[in-house]
Amino acid sequence: MTISTNFPEYDVVRRIWGRVDTILFIFAGSAAEFALNKAVDWLFVTGELPGAPIERFFETVRFAQTLVFEDPETFEKTVQAVNQAHKAVESLRDGQSIPQRAYRDTLFMLVDYAERAHEVVFGPLTESERQSLFLSSMEIGRCMNIKGLPDTYDEYRRLRQSHIRNHLARSRYSDQLYEQYRSHIGPIRMRGMLDVQASLVPPEVAQMLSLRQRLYTKLLLKTYRRIQSRRLLRLFYPLILPRRYVAQLRAIDR
């Protein structure tokens, strides 16, 4: 089972997951919300995410791009590998199961930030594009055996708002993750990431993390699609992440 490519207008999923700037916006927002999820303790079981957050970012992007761009056989093998990895993590906690809501919350979060990133880079999604993104994302979720997924976009939005209200809270894990982000990208890049997060995440998330919107960042995001240049963006790669990650940034730009 793989995602459909017969979208009404064009393949919006590939458009989103093939651009390095949309991917960076998705993960700027996700990095904030991940830190608040009440199931975030599962991310600390192996220590891999807090120990190497940038490497885990690139692993996640490669996983997502495999699902979107590769053939059905590779898609299936990748899903099986991820499911096995989750089982291995569960075994470290005496067979406790990762809560199904944690999987749903993560999937819903990625759909939401994919919409927000698309609006920054390309403009708002059309209704058919929004439906294409939602349906293909839910299809991927079902392939990963995630339970309780919605059948309609309206139902997804209700569940998403319920998640934001009920499944997020600042904890010591939140602060530990942010300290690791700062440690790995440096204080100047961290300041930039915080400014982008403040303008990108839902107000509830910004409030929990004490993120304050900056006028210049808000204006930049509003005008980004008019001034964007992929060639110029590549020149700024070392300002986005440390230079040792530049080659990996280039590799995810499809």
Enclosing H/E stretch for 67: helix 53-69
The model's pLDDT over 94-112, given as tens digits with 9 standing for 90+, comes to 768 888 998 999 999 999 9
* Residue 176 domain flag: yes
* Residue 1 domain flag: no
Tally of domains in the chain: 1
* Residue 74 domain flag: yes
* Residue 2 domain flag: no
The model's pLDDT over 188-233, given as tens digits with 9 standing for 90+, comes to 999 999 999 999 999 999 999 999 999 999 998 988 888 777 676 7
* Residue 5 domain flag: no
* Residue 6 domain flag: no
CA distance 207 to 69: 36
Rg (CA), the chain: 18
Where in the sequence is the domain holding 193, given as residue range(s)? 12-249
Structure tokens at 115: 């919409």
pTM of the model: 0.89
Q: Are 45 and 158 in contact (CB under 8 A)?
A: no
